């Protein structure tokens, strides 16, 4: 299960402290001009560094090994490589036989009987670099249809941003170290994050992604619903513990008369006056903005002491996790959620026949 998609299939590979991570995109249409600078710009948005991020210094420049000729896709698999250049496994050596709380250490060991203890191996968020590379390709494809994917931190450490205009929110968020579009909320979130850091702890939050200009008709009835597919795509991201579409869980607190979106005619077109549905009805897109929220748990690697088990000695121990980790993963998760939303929508458009196999 290292492959995502039906018509547009993405396989990711690699471990956190291995030589590299990367992906293979199969089914990508021919004739799309590939802007490598745009892809690397997307990679920089996810790249570690900064005062509220891991101090691991990865350049994260993508090398395209196949599927491109004379600057355009040729319809064959696109293989993308991202070297791991700043690996330090020494802080993990003392944890070789210890399960870190909040990590996949125990579950990988239970499933495979062996695990890569260097930085979490395959379960590490390092794997998401490959998703962002693939998502950048999907965004280049969606640009042909004026579909835009915009994301930002909706909430961090319990501090929620007020969003009035999605386009402006995205622009403002890109200038923020926390990717928060609300300046007042950002300051309070920074205060709470610094407090957690001073205690050797971490915080979580919520990423919101809005897909604009998505055509109506995407998604399949019953088991192929677009919202179910989006939830599957986003829940597969490390640290995501919940997904909302549109009003999400707040819909459970409304009356039908409040939650139903009135259908009206504006400029000779049928549109919806509100968007509690998040752009999806009956599992099929309705032409309105698709709104997806992902709940991101607090970073599991913390220096605060925690109880766990040394499985070789079969005894309870206390540990403090060392190494280079994000005290809050939310800002760097934004481009990852965007990538999975982009891949999902592009795949659905291909399944619907809206995207041809070749742009000649």
Domain that holds residue 50: 3-351
pLDDT in tens, 310-334: 999 999 999 988 877 889 999 999 9
What span, in angstroms and rounded, lies between the C-alpha atoms of 233 and 128?
12
Cβ-Cβ contacts under 8 Å for 126 (sequence gap 6 or more): 14, 15, 16, 21, 84, 119, 120
Query: Residue 158 domain-assigned?
Result: yes
Q: Which pTM was predicted? A: 0.95
Whether 357 is covered by a domain: the verdict is no
What is the arithmetic mean of pLDDT over 211-239?
A: 97
* Tally of domains within the chain: 1
Check whether 20 has a pLDDT greater than 90. yes
CATH number of the domain within which 153 lies? 3.60.150.10
Question: What whole-number percentage of the chain has pLDDT above 70?
Answer: 98
Q: Is residue 332 part of a domain?
A: yes
Q: If you write DSSP's letter for every residue of 44-67 in order, what string do you get?
A: HHH---STTS---------EEEES
311 lies in a domain?
Answer: yes
How far is Cα 283 from Cα 344, in angstroms, rounded to an integer? 13
Separation of alpha carbons 274 and 87, rounded Å: 48
**Which segment of 79-93, 247-261, 342-356 scores lowest on mean pLDDT?**
79-93
Higher-scoring residue by pLDDT: 58, 6: 6
Mean pLDDT value across residues 60-73 = 97
Q: Is residue 360 a part of any domain in this protein?
A: no
**What pLDDT, on a 0 to 100 scale, did the predictor assign at position 56?**
64
**Percent of the chain that is helix, strand, coil (3-state, to 5):** 30, 25, 45
Q: What is the pLDDT of residues 246-292, one digit of tens each?
A: 999 999 999 999 999 999 999 999 999 999 999 999 999 999 999 99
Residue-wise pLDDT for 68-79, tens only, equals 999 999 999 999
Residue 359 lies in a domain: no
Is 280 contained in some domain?
Answer: yes
Task: Quickly state the pLDDT bin for 118 (edges 50, 70, 90).
Answer: confident
């Amino acid at each position: 299960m290292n492959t995502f998609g039906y018509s547009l299939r993405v396989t990711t590979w690699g471990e956190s402290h291995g030589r590299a991570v990367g992906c293979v995109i199969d089914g990508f249409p021919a004739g799309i001009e590939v802007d490598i600078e745009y892809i690397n710009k997307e990679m920089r948005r996810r790249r570690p560094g900064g005062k509220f991020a891991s101090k691991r210094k990865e350049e994260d420049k993508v090398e395209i090994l196949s599927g491109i000729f004379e600057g355009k896709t040729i319809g064959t698999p696109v293989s993308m490589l991202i070297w791991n250049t700043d690996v330090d496994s020494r802080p993990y050596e003392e944890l070789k036989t210890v399960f870190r709380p909040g990590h996949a250490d125990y579950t990988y060991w239970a499933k495979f009987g062996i695990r890569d203890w260097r930085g979490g191996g395959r379960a590490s968020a390092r794997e998401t670099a490959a998703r962002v590379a693939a998502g950048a390709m999907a965004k280049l494809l969606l640009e042909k249809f004026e579909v835009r994917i915009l994301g930002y931190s909706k909430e961090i450490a319990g501090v929620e941003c007020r969003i009035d205009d999605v386009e402006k929110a995205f622009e403002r968020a890109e200038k923020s170290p926390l990717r928060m579009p609300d300046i007042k909320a950002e300051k309070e979130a920074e205060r709470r994050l610094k407090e957690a850091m001073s205690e050797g702890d971490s915080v979580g939050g919520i990423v919101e992604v809005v897909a604009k200009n998505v055509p109506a008709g995407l998604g399949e009835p019953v088991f192929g619903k677009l919202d179910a597919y989006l939830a599957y795509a986003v829940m597969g991201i490390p640290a995501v513990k919940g997904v909302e579409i549109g009003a999400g869980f707040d819909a459970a607190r409304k009356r039908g008369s409040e939650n139903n979106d009135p259908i009206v005619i504006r400029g000779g077109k049928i549109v919806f006056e509100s968007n509690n549905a998040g752009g999806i009805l009956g599992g099929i897109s309705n032409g309105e903005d698709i709104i997806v929220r992902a709940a991101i748990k607090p970073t599991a690697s913390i220096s605060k002491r925690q109880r766990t088990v040394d499985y070789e000695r079969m005894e309870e121990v206390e540990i403090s996790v060392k190494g280079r980790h994000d005290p809050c993963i939310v800002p760097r998760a934004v481009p990852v959620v965007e990538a999975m939303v982009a891949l999902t929508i592009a795949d659905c458009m291909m399944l619907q026949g809206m995207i041809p196999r070749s742009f000649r």
